[in-house]
Amino acid sequence: MRLPQDDTFNSPDTTNLLDRGSQGVIAKPLDRPEGPLKVSGSATYSAEWKSDHCAEGVLVLASIAQGTVKTIHKDAVLSMPGVLAVLADEAMTRRSTQGTAGEAPVQGVQTVEYFAQPIALVVAENFEQARDAALTLEVEYAPSDTPVAFDPESADAEVELAPDTEPVEGGDLDQAMRDAAFAIDVEYETPGHASAAMEPHATIAQWKGDDLVLHGSYQMLSYNVKEIADCLSMAPENVRIIAPYVGGGFGSKLGITHEAVAAAIASKQLARPVRVVMTRQQVFETVMRRSETRQRIRLAADETGKLIGLGHEALVSNLPDEEFAEPVTQATEFLYSGENRLLKVDVARISRMTAGSVRAPGEAVGMQVLEAAMDELAQATGIDPVELRKHNIADKVPVEGTPYSSRMLAEALDQGAKAFGWDQRRPKPCQTREGDWWIGMGMASAARVNMLVEAEARVTLKADGTALVETDQTDIGTGSYAILGQIAGEMLGLPIDRVKVLLGDTSLPAGAGSGGSFGAISTGSAVLRACEMIREKLAKALGCTEDALELKDGLASGGGKSRAYPDLLAGKDLAETGSIKPGDTADDFSQASYGAFFAEVAVNAFTGETRVRRMTGAFGFGRVLNAKTARSQCLGGMVWGIGSALTEELAFDLRDGHLVNHDLAEYHVPVHADVPAIEVILLEERDAAASPLQAKGVGELGICGAAGSIANAVYNACGARVRSFPLTLDKIIPHLPDPFTEAG
């Protein structure tokens, strides 16, 4: 029996409670309950809440990169039709908030730190008037006398070790490289990426006395409340955020952004609701970018292909003093063997919008490069790429010596290879030609760290025998509504249509939020614990031990007795709040979700155009909570992998740091014509150290290495080893063989 206060996850949970349930709803590929709302246009997203007498705000962005706002010629626009206010309040934010910050980002919009930084908000009766005034507004600036570099590679960019990190150093990597039978020493680069969630950031702010209510598009509400409160110097208790439906996040909505604080300030000043919706360009220019990276990989292998040394050094960038640095080497730390190692991330201080989390920070770009370099090692050693990886699965985390929790890397490699038909691959490039197209296959491992974070949820078994799950956890498309209902349904013995889930409102207990793939397992663990407490009470009411209790279809049985819930509860609701906190298991074990990607591509022999023809992914991430939503997460991640491999790239002007491709016409996300048949295999696994659900995160796993498999397939197809992502035509063409060569 678990005591209610025992909420820290200090030791692996091998009770596998969810496997003892009788209801049979956990893991099932159940539909998301909000599906009908979404297909009929009746799910209410942030900008769509009705509020009477709502004014509209439009952000004004700086037209310089660095300096000070001297004068804003407000009067000229205040006389324009409908214009209500021009705000340049020092509480407004000039940088975006990092995920889980729980405090204000850098505020003050008089100082300009990067091109297109927000500097003011214009508010008017309607959107058109506000936009017109924002475009008309004249601003005078004074240039900065302490310039910051625009190019992370330039000599005047200050470079330092990533804050709060230490290089991982073991043995002697240089010596290992000299001793190695096979040594790879290569440099790759990846460009900046944008989250590009389809719903632009939007907030409707409204005050009721001292209380602020925000309808907005955010991923982590309990942190966001603190961030807003800190920005406005008010108590978090006076802030309420409502966000039941969020149109995608992918990191960009982890922390609060500029429109939220600006809307709150304007609403207070005007004493009426204010809505601020960012334009698509503003989202690109001001919210969050994934840093570009330059990565040096060194692989030292003995004659059997076993790694004796591994180096992964990266240069990323961010604004001065910003603590976040893309954790490029995060999965390299534990993925493969090689005791002689050096892993390190440096950050260049530059003047571009804030760099922060974009889906799978670290692994998304680190794994794609590591796995491309592993393909180079496979080529050098002549070992099959799948075998090479299996050969290098470590027994314990190199250097640190930490044991692993459950790991499915070998299984994913084997099952993925089998399903894909890897044995059909011809090891050398330029062996298969179909008309104008070279055909090739490539693969990569997948890995993403697992995180359990603090979360709370309330579960009420109602007197009528239905259940209600309540938490401020968000569902950003991930499936929280479905999954949390399934956990409660399984634990309380209720069919899914008797469980209701309320999310996305900070008046409810604080869930984990959606980020870092930890939402489902953390908030889900809190739901599980609330249900455990309810089960104890039901057992007591029925007069049996908890072990003997069986709950199914709203009927409690045990000790030879059987009673329906309404009867057992005798007219009273039974409510419990469960909570989880990370504990010793986080340090005692190396925990991660694993998998493998397989891709087949066609590369045009004349133009270098690359089409992904099919992909297979096999993934092990502990218990599958909902096979349908988990599969969707994997599919979505692999689609991102196609984008990272072939098209996605933020382009900055190195003269002033401005983002050149700030919209969806110029930043190319994959579309229907780019997405081939993708097969996803979900492996059976229980990871007792990962969470009380024995589940691990899956929201980001599908991207972590996917682009590497595509790059490796391009090499296998046509022999082009391109060390700069994305693999656009111009980069492939110089490596192409004579298009009139015969295959083989």
Q: Which residues contribute to the site for ligand FES (CB under 6 A)?
A: 198, 248, 477
CA distances, 506 to each of 210, 419, 532 (Å): 16, 44, 24
Q: Does 733 bind other proteins (CB under 8 A)?
A: no
Within residues 186-205, the interface with other proteins by CB under 8 A covers 195-200
**DSSP single-letter state for residue 78:** H
Q: Shortest distance, CB of residue 680 to other proteins, whole angstroms? A: 8
Closer CB to other proteins, 451 or 476, in the complex:
476
- Quick check: helix, strand or coil at residue 520? helix
- 35's contact among ligand FES, other proteins, none, with CB below 5 to 8 A by partner kind, is other proteins
Q: Does 279 bind other proteins (CB under 8 A)?
A: yes
Q: Shortest distance, CB of residue 51 to ligand FES, whole angstroms? A: 22
Residue of 250, 334, 621, 715 interacting with other proteins (CB under 8 A):
250
| Cα separation, 660 vs 118, whole angstroms | 17
Q: Does 613 bind other proteins (CB under 8 A)?
A: no
- 644's contact among ligand FES, other proteins, none, with CB below 5 to 8 A by partner kind, is none
Q: Shortest distance, CB of residue 676 to ligand FES, whole angstroms? A: 18
- 743's contact among other proteins, ligand FES, none, with CB below 5 to 8 A by partner kind, is none
Q: Shortest distance, CB of residue 724 to other proteins, whole angstroms? A: 24
Residue of 7, 21, 45, 425 interacting with other proteins (CB under 8 A):
45
Q: Does 714 bind other proteins (CB under 8 A)?
A: no
- 663's contact among ligand FES, other proteins, none, with CB below 5 to 8 A by partner kind, is other proteins
DSSP letters for 8-40: EE-S---S-HHHH-SS--TB--PPPTTHHHHHT
With CB under 8 A as the contact rule, which of the stretches 108-116, 150-158, 462-470, 671-679 interacts with other proteins?
671-679
Q: Shortest distance, CB of residue 136 to other proteins, whole angstroms? A: 17
Q: Does 635 bind other proteins (CB under 8 A)?
A: yes
Closer CB to other proteins, 45 or 150, in the complex:
45
- Quick check: helix, strand or coil at residue 476? coil
Q: Shortest distance, CB of residue 247 to ligand FES, whole angstroms? A: 6
Q: Does 155 bind other proteins (CB under 8 A)?
A: no
Closer CB to other proteins, 8 or 44, in the complex:
44
Residue of 80, 106, 127, 165 interacting with other proteins (CB under 8 A):
127
Q: Does 418 bind other proteins (CB under 8 A)?
A: no
Q: Does 478 bind other proteins (CB under 8 A)?
A: yes
Residue of 128, 169, 185, 400 interacting with other proteins (CB under 8 A):
128
Closer CB to other proteins, 118 or 247, in the complex:
247
| Cα separation, 191 vs 648, whole angstroms | 8
Instruction: Reply yes or no: is the peptide bond before residue 726 cis, omega within 30 of 0.
Output: yes
Closer CB to other proteins, 54 or 714, in the complex:
54
Counting Cα atoms < 13 Å in the Cβ hemisphere of 328 gives 36
Closer CB to other proteins, 536 or 674, in the complex:
674
**DSSP single-letter state for residue 280:** H
Q: Shortest distance, CB of residue 357 to ligand FES, whole angstroms? A: 18
Residue of 186, 663, 724, 729 interacting with other proteins (CB under 8 A):
663
Beta bridge partners of 202: 277
Closer CB to other proteins, 65 or 194, in the complex:
194
Q: Does 679 bind other proteins (CB under 8 A)?
A: yes
Closer CB to ligand FES, 57 or 477, in the complex:
477
Would residue 570 be called left, alpha or beta, if left means φ above 0 and alpha means ψ between -120 and 50 degrees? Answer: left
| Cα separation, 499 vs 380, whole angstroms | 56
Q: Which of 363, 376, 685, 700 is catalytic?
A: 700
Q: Could you tell me which of 480, 531, 486, 533 has the C-alpha nearest to residue 502?
A: 480
Would residue 167 be called left, alpha or beta, if left means φ above 0 and alpha means ψ between -120 and 50 degrees? Answer: beta
Q: Does 124 bind other proteins (CB under 8 A)?
A: no
Q: Shortest distance, CB of residue 257 to other proteins, whole angstroms? A: 16
Residue of 77, 109, 246, 325 interacting with other proteins (CB under 8 A):
246
DSSP letters for 162-224: PTT---EEES-HHHHHHH-SEEEEEEEEE-BB----SSPPEEEEEEETTEEEEEE--S-HHHH
Closer CB to ligand FES, 477 or 608, in the complex:
477
Closer CB to ligand FES, 198 or 660, in the complex:
198
Q: What letters, b where the CB count within 10 A reaches 16 and e where it falls short, cover 58-81?
A: bbbbbebbbbebeebebeebeeee
Give 387: exposed, middle or buried? Use CB within 10 Å, 0-12, 13-18, 19+: middle
Tokens of 84: 């209500």
- Which residues contact residue 507 at a Cβ distance below 8 angstroms, ignoring those fewer than 6 apart? 240, 472
Q: Does 47 bind other proteins (CB under 8 A)?
A: yes
Q: Does 248 bind other proteins (CB under 8 A)?
A: yes
429 in Cβ contact with 714 (< 8 Å)? no
- With CB atoms as reference, the residue minimizing the distance to ligand FES is 198
Q: What letters, b where the CB count within 10 A reaches 16 and e where it falls short, cover 528-563?
A: bbbbbbbbbebbebbebeeeebebeebbbbbeeeeb
Cα Rg of the chain (Å, integer): 27
Residue of 5, 40, 146, 424 interacting with other proteins (CB under 8 A):
40
- 235's contact among other proteins, ligand FES, none, with CB below 5 to 8 A by partner kind, is none
Torsions phi, psi of 735, nearest 5?
A: -95, -5
Q: Shortest distance, CB of residue 520 to ligand FES, whole angstroms? A: 17
Q: Does 671 bind other proteins (CB under 8 A)?
A: yes
Q: Shortest distance, CB of residue 257 to ligand FES, whole angstroms? A: 19
| Cα separation, 646 vs 729, whole angstroms | 9
With CB under 8 A as the contact rule, which of the stretches 9-17, 327-335, 435-443, 672-680 interacts with other proteins?
672-680
- 607's contact among ligand FES, other proteins, none, with CB below 5 to 8 A by partner kind, is none
Tokens of 514: 């959606």
With CB under 8 A as the contact rule, which of the stretches 174-182, 295-303, 441-449, 473-481 interacts with other proteins?
473-481
Closer CB to other proteins, 125 or 179, in the complex:
125
Token pair 């025992």 is found at: 6
Q: Is 679 a catalytic residue?
A: no
Closer CB to other proteins, 350 or 615, in the complex:
615
Q: What letters, b where the CB count within 10 A reaches 16 and e where it falls short, cover 306-328?
A: bbbbbbbbbbbbbbeebebbbbb
DSSP letters for 533-571: HHHHHHHHHHTS-TTT-EEETTEEEETTEEEEHHHHHTT
CA distances, 739 to each of 365, 427, 603, 607, 730 (Å): 31, 20, 11, 9, 15
Give 198: exposed, middle or buried? Use CB within 10 Å, 0-12, 13-18, 19+: exposed
- Active site residues per annotation: 700
Binding site for other proteins (CB under 8 A): 31-32, 34-45, 47-48, 50, 126-128, 195-200, 245-248, 250, 277, 279-280, 476-479, 628, 631-632, 635-640, 663-665, 669-673, 675, 677-679
